[in-house]
Chain A
Amino acid sequence: MSEIRSTRAPGPRGRVPISDNDHAPARPRSQSRWKTWGPALLFLLPAIVGLLVFRLIPIGWAFALSFTNWRIFNDIEWVGLANYAHILTSPVSREVLGNTLWFTAMYVPGVMVVSVTLAVLLNNSLRSSAFFRGAFFLPYITATVAVTLAWRWIFSTRFGLLNHLLAQVDIDRIAWLADPAWALPAVAIVSVWKDAGFYMILLIAGLQTIDPGVYEAARIDGARAFRRFYAITLPLLSRSLFFVLILALVRSTQTFEITYALTNGGPNRASTTLAFYIYQNAFVHFEMGYASALAYVLCFVIGLITLLNFHLRRRWVHE
């Protein structure tokens, strides 16, 4: 390898100016890149390996499996688009997809309204607000199965607290968990109760970025509380609301634990949503190929809804 020498003229004292680029023998470009990126890559390696092994490779593998009839201990057989065709034609899959959309339609507006209300009510400097923020956040960090068991008692047809309260105002008993019309709303109620505190915290953070001077000006102009909420709070909170909306939408399609513990997907699949159906197919019936196809349908649904939201974002989110 020929040595590359400096072509610069000697300096005033006859010395060659010192420059990393010019003075040292030039390294091959790959070696230079390694020096720059190597340590970073080494530090990132555990995360990259984890991401590959536990996320990306399984995601890719699941996609491949969705074209097979793998049932864990049978030979993997390629079935093409049969699983997807079955999902589209099976009345059960259609019912489950319908349930998922119905749950989303109840959960997302419900959790948005409740969390916005809580955030607005608790966005002040009162000492009691700190207590209530903690109290409303508590369900989010409480073990789902434990609280759901309490809710099973609340919803119990004959001995439940809710029906007891309804009886005080002459409303007939409702079979919350055993009536197909009420089972999914019951799951939505518990889900909203559990998650609203988390979204409330996000929205309070958003509320605290709004300049109090804007409210002051509105007050001087005679705007009442509802007007201030409608004309100031909502528009200026729209970026936080958009974030919460996306989170709630994604979460609504992934509901599992509450369904599992509260209704087990019943009665007669009336509260079986896509995530629970995937679990049943994968880990109860061991239909891994079919469950993988369902998972990709779920992925597609989430992607579609999110895309739609980003498209509609410019209409209502104030940048």
Chain B
Amino acid sequence: MNRRSSLNSKLTVSPYIIWAALFIIAPLFFVVYYSFTTSAGDFTLENVQALSKYLPTFLRSIWFGIEATLICLIIAFPTAYIIAQKTDKIQRTMVMLVMLPMWMSFLIRTYSWMAILQDTGIINTFLTKLGIHPVHMINTGGAVILGMVYNFLPYMILPIYSVMAKLDYSMVEACQDLGGNRLTVIRKCIIPLSLPGIVSGVTMVFVPSVSTFYISQKLGGGSFDLIGDVIERQFQQSYNYNLGAALSLVLMILILISMAFMNKFSDEGEIVI
């Protein structure tokens, strides 16, 4: 009986193993292969050496990613806390409202921000009518970060909320009973308890922010190239797959390092979805 079921289990899992080997593992092998070869297929270190030219772009991506993640965290934490305090029915509606924008093409939504932020856009038209001098917003670094925060904010709110909704409130009450004021309760009790949600929210915002290319093109106007833009151009415009692969390899390693770093903060080392 036991032998038979273990045979069956290998049978049902094997199509997936083959699929994963072909389409998850093999592609990563090709990233490494293309990184260290010329377009003719000979071994070279040229692509890796060319990377130093892109150091400022890498640093900018990381910096923008960190800023966007921190702003998301600052906005999302109180939001998640407020949602978690409501009754079940209102909670469900609010979570739905947080998720709803994600079902719309992020391309269109980002494009729509252009109409809002432009020099002759909605905000500035409004300001001019009020007699206030228009503010230049589009094609700035701030606009790019705003785009990142806008697009990835739900990824921060949802995991923090899902931890907070399951939080043991007797712990919070115990903290209050022991004389903690509101700030102490948040700092010593609620933040540590919702850490798993914060950790997964931070990774879910940081990874797409660092690697984005559309947001920076549309809201940065081409003057705030991020690493994603450079990679995209190698594959879709200059057709230098080898350099593109080397850049992707570095991006991948960068993400892996930051993930390992983040996982140190959470006790379980596991990502909550």
A binds B: no
